[in-house]
Amino acid sequence: MTSETATDTSAPEREDAFRAGKSAAENRWLLGLVGIVTVVAGVIALAMPFLASLTAALLAGWVLIASGVVGLVTAVRRDAGWSLAASFALSLVSILAGVMTLVLPGAGLLALTTLLIAYFAVSGALRVYYGARAVRDGGGWMVAAGVLSLVLAILLFFGLPFSAVWVPGVMLGVDLVLLGALQIALAVRAGKVAPASDGHGAERHA
């Protein structure tokens, strides 16, 4: 009874997995093409970090403006009170920050780099803390990663304002290269799974 129930419940899961694999296999060329374009964009960003940093700052400015506009629309629909006032104020600050980033992209680059420094510092401190508490369970690697993050944060901090010229662009380039590589790997894997999916489909129809 139990084995029959397990078989019945696992059949829909296998069907969903088969459909997902078939869909990925059919679109593997598009996924691979997008991955290649993404890697090329990442390499260009790494080769021209200043332009990439400037692009990242401008994109951040537009995102802040869009977020502020959405916040204003949401705030108007709320009831009056402190919640409305706080949402309205935060939305205006977001729009103002976005406009300033577009008008003064240099200040936007400095702000982005400062946020990255804060991220590396906080994440590094947390990794050192939690890694030190689990040294016997392999936490030494986490401590090492945390120390590297802290060192990077210190180097970037003392490199200001010059580090603001290239850090956002390099981070954007690395992220694009990794994302593109992942997409290419998924496309290759989908290509290898395609024959197995076709065989499984033929077996099901038979």
Return the minimum-mean-pLDDT range out of 15-29, 72-86, 138-152: 15-29
pLDDT over threshold 60, residue 66: yes
CA 21 to chain centre: 24
| Distance, CA of 71 to CA of 69 (rounded, Å) | 5
Helix, strand, or coil (residue 79): coil
The structure tokens listed for 114 are 């400062």
176-196 pLDDT tens trace: 888 888 888 877 777 666 555
55-64 pLDDT tens trace: 888 888 888 8
Mean pLDDT of the chain: 75
119-174 pLDDT tens trace: 888 888 888 888 887 767 667 777 887 888 888 888 888 877 777 778 788 878 88
Residue 41 neighbours by CB under 8 Å, 6+ apart: 176, 180
Domain range summary for the chain, segments of one domain joined by +: 29-190
Contact between 180 and 37 under an 8 Å Cβ cutoff? The reply is yes
Contact between 167 and 145 under an 8 Å Cβ cutoff? The reply is no
